[in-house]
Amino acid sequence: MVQKARRLTLPDGGRARPGARGGPQGHVTRGTTAPQRMRRVDRWVADVHGPLLRRTAAPLLVDLGYGAQPWTAVEMLTRLRAVQPSAELVGLEIEPERVAHARATAPALPGLSWERGGFELATSRPPTVVRAFNVLRQYREEDVPAIWGLMASRLAPGGVVVEGTCSEDGRRAAWVDLRADGPASLTLAMRLGAFERPSDVAERLPKALIHRHVPGEPVHRLLADADAAWALHAPLGAYGTRQRWIAMVRTLKDAGWPVLGRESRWRRGELTVRWDAVAPGVG
């Protein structure tokens, strides 16, 4: 049974700590998934964290809460093996039936395995990249720091957790780049031509921000500025939505937003800013 809006009780009463023991931490999700749903975030990981993967021998990847079907975990391994052929992946799910189903139906790829687990990331060795998508939506905002801390405490040196949310078809997504010392950035990713305004992604903001899309909050200001810049560059739509999006990102950067990444990322309908510019309550 899917459990919604419940507090997460960690072994020490609410504070994440390395090496915490006990059963899998978290609640069962709806498990909905679809092939290619995570393509945008996987491409981002391959590009942004490719150097990390390449310098790590046999990096361990984790797809946390992959859902009722193993498709997206298999795709994650395939995509990131294009960057580091020695990568291995563990798909983690709390629901035992989903683990059994993945073991029975997923391709028997070397280095691909399926285990029962949750936010404690109880893998055989610390993971280098963890993808945790669409798993925090059912928790309360105040649970997020503890969950982030628990996952980050299990990372290999230099490792990352990519935590976020996407639409059912993967065309709208948002994620946080989480490191051992805290969140580093927020990325918004949209299928060009499949939205009216950049703020359409608001409903897919990560749990830490989803309730902060209100006047006075920095993430609301970011999306409002993006909408204004999008409207300003409407004439460029004659040359395609890609040119209009790139111009929007440049305008945001010129206005002082700490935009990260190269134009090659913007061309894919992405906007990444430093976390400290959109953190709740900042500004």
* Amino acid identity for residue 93 in this structure: E
| Rounded distance between C-alpha atoms, residue 261 and residue 32, angstroms | 31
What would the pLDDT profile of 67-113 be if each residue is shown by its tens digit? Answer: 999 999 999 999 999 999 999 999 999 999 999 999 999 999 999 99
Predicted pLDDT at 30 = 65
Options 3.20.110.20, 3.40.1710.10, 3.40.50.1980, 3.40.50.150; CATH of 39-277: 3.40.50.150
DSSP 143-166: GHHHHHHHHHTTPPTT-EEEEEEE
* Amino acid identity for residue 265 in this structure: R
Predicted pLDDT at 9 = 56
pLDDT tens for each residue of the chain, 283 residues long: 334 444 555 544 444 443 344 677 877 776 577 778 999 999 999 999 999 999 999 999 999 999 999 999 999 999 999 999 999 999 999 999 999 999 999 999 999 999 999 999 999 999 999 999 999 988 999 999 999 999 999 999 999 999 999 999 999 999 999 999 999 999 999 999 999 999 999 999 999 999 999 999 999 999 999 999 999 999 998 999 999 999 999 999 999 999 999 999 999 999 999 999 999 975 5
Q: What residue spans define the domains of the chain?
A: 39-277
How do strand 60-64 and strand 129-133 relate by DSSP bridges?
parallel
Burial 102-113 (b: 16+ CB within 10 A, else e): beeebeeeeebb
Burial 187-202 (b: 16+ CB within 10 A, else e): bbbbbeeebeebbbbb
Q: Where would I find the beta strands (DSSP E) of the chain?
A: 60-64, 88-93, 112-116, 129-133, 160-166, 172-179, 182-190, 259-260, 270-274
| Rounded distance between C-alpha atoms, residue 198 and residue 10, angstroms | 36
Locus of tokens 């055989």: 124
Predicted pLDDT at 5 = 41
Predicted pLDDT at 233 = 97
Task: Write the CA distances from 38 to 55, 73, 182, 186, 202, integer angstroms.
Answer: 24, 9, 23, 16, 18
The three-state secondary structure class of 179 is strand
What would the pLDDT profile of 146-170 be if each residue is shown by its tens digit? Answer: 999 999 999 999 999 999 999 999 9
241-254 and 218-232 helices cross at what angle (nearest 10)?
130
Task: Write the CA distances from 11 to 14, 18, 60, 141, integer angstroms.
Answer: 7, 11, 25, 19
Predicted pLDDT at 138 = 85
pTM exceeds cut of 0.95: no
